[in-house]
A = this chain, B = another copy of it.
Amino acid sequence: MRAISLRPMTRTLALAALAALPLSSPASAHDLERERLLQAQAEALEDAVAWDILEDLTTEVGPRLGGTPAEARARAWATERLTALGFANVRVEDYRMPTWVRGEEKARLTGPYPQDLALTALGNSGSTGPAGLTAEVVGYVDYAAFLADDPANQAGRIVFISNAMPRNQDGSGYSMPFGAPRWVGPNEAAKRGAAAIVVRSIGTDHNRTPHTGNTSFEEGVDPIPAAALAVPDAEQLMRVLERAETAVRMELLLTPRRLGMQPSGNVIAEVPGRDPSAKKVLVGCHLDSWDNAPGVFDDGAGCAIVAAAAKRVMDMGTPARTIEIVWFGAEEVGLWGARDFAERHDGTDYHVVAESDFGADRVWKVTTDLGEHRRAEADALRAALAPLGIASGDYDQAGGADVGPLRAEGAPGLSLRQDGTRYFDLHHTANDTLDKVDPAQLRQNVAAWTTMLLVMAGPVE
């Protein structure tokens, strides 16, 4: 295993590559292209644009929940900033979406060991009403144990599911199996007649900043109050359940509201290519965030990275293909922007689609799903990214929530996978703030996306 030290290694490699160019003979076209790439990477590693976007968006707008006035302020801010950066055809594509907003949230064990617990409502949670509710807690170590138990033990009670999310570089396990209590637990608990459900946060930190996140209820199922306990509080509740000799009772207050259909939108900008008939390259992120933090890792950073990279390419000249920058709306609360975008646009119009939505830490691996006939292009991308310390991954795999609907329509995809080792310490929590960002790793992302655009939308002339 080679230790990767981001900037020093990359700059050294870039300079070494430049020095290795034969001085006594004319450089080949290939050498010149390589030289230009390494130069672009070295410059991108000094990027200041991404930091500025990220700091300004998260300071001047702050939290920006989908469908709310805060998200509308973010669209106005984004339109102004993308225009100021010099992009073409900056516009908002509006849509409307069902909007949920948080209310009060409090939990207290009333017995046998009275104490408050830190928790936060999941998106789409039902309300306890302003008076709250008090019920006995029935606890399970994981979702399977909850499913296996007799619903008669759950009816009228507060179900607690306590599985722990493990820390993985690639985020493995977040959706399933470890996210099950959040994704599908509330719906299942509602069907079983539970009064409410609390789950251990689907996160890897030990801070008392619980992880929110969306859940959903089937048509016809009345949403019950559903919340995530902070990890220390889930552990505390488990200890309490293990030792209590009388029923453990919890007083729960959650008063979220549904505001009906509200305005949201996608913000789009372009770097026009030389060939308007050529398929486009889409780079995306999501502009909305959860309401409990300024949304830095999730996903202000993604928007900063893709815009800064597109600007670097634009400043080098005109690419062959048009680059489309999409700052999607309302991702967290149900992919409303992604779905609207895919309805208006055709996935087959894209040469490739890619999004940045896994924090601000370094890109460590590239995967592609371009089809076997584009293997050479996939390999060229890998060769171009290697100087940045980025490993080669699968050739038949690419992810991304917001580009998902376009991918389903046939758009080729690729992923510049970010190191998610600490992503689930921050995401969906109040701790998703600017101080968490390592500027050197943010710049490495810009260099990786610049490189990707030079390969996929190039050559730049």
The answer to whether A70 and B232 touch across the interface, beta carbons within 8 angstroms, is: no
Residues A55-75 near B (CB distance < 8 A): 55, 59-63, 70, 73
Copies per complex of this chain: 2
Q: Indicate whether A431 reaches chain B with its CB closer than 8 angstroms.
A: yes
Interface residues of A in 206-254 (CB under 8 A from B): 206-209, 231-232, 235-236, 239-240, 243
- Contact among B60, B73, B240, B431 with A208 in the assembled complex (CB-CB below 8 Å): B431
Tell me if B115 and A63 are in contact (CB < 8 A). yes
A40 at the interface (CB under 8 A from B): no
Of all chain B residues, which has the CB nearest A63?
A: B115
Instruction: With CB as the reference atom, state the residue of chain B lying closest to A113.
Output: B60
Q: Are B59 and A243 in contact (CB under 8 A)?
A: yes
- A16-66, CB < 8 A from B: 55, 59-63
Smallest beta-carbon distance A116→chain B, Å: 7
Chain A interface category by residue count: 20 to 34
- Contact residues in B for A62 (Cβ distance below 8 Å): 113-116, 236
- A320 CB–B CB distance under 8 Å: no
**Whole-angstrom distance from the CB of A256 to the nearest CB of chain B?**
16
- Of the candidate stretches A302-310, A367-375, A433-441, the one touching chain B is A433-441
A 109-121 binary contact with B (CB < 8 Å = 1; else 0): 0000111101000
B residues less than 8 Å from A118 (CB atoms): 430
8 inter-chain pairs at a CB distance below 8 angstroms, sorted by A residue, are A59-B239, A73-B114, A207-B207, A208-B430, A208-B431, A209-B209, A232-B434, A235-B433
Indicate whether A294 reaches chain B with its CB closer than 8 angstroms.
yes
Once bound together, how far apart are the Cα atoms of A231 and B209, in whole Å? 14
Q: Knowing A209-B207, A209-B208, A209-B209 touch, does A232 contact B433 (C-beta < 8 A)?
A: yes
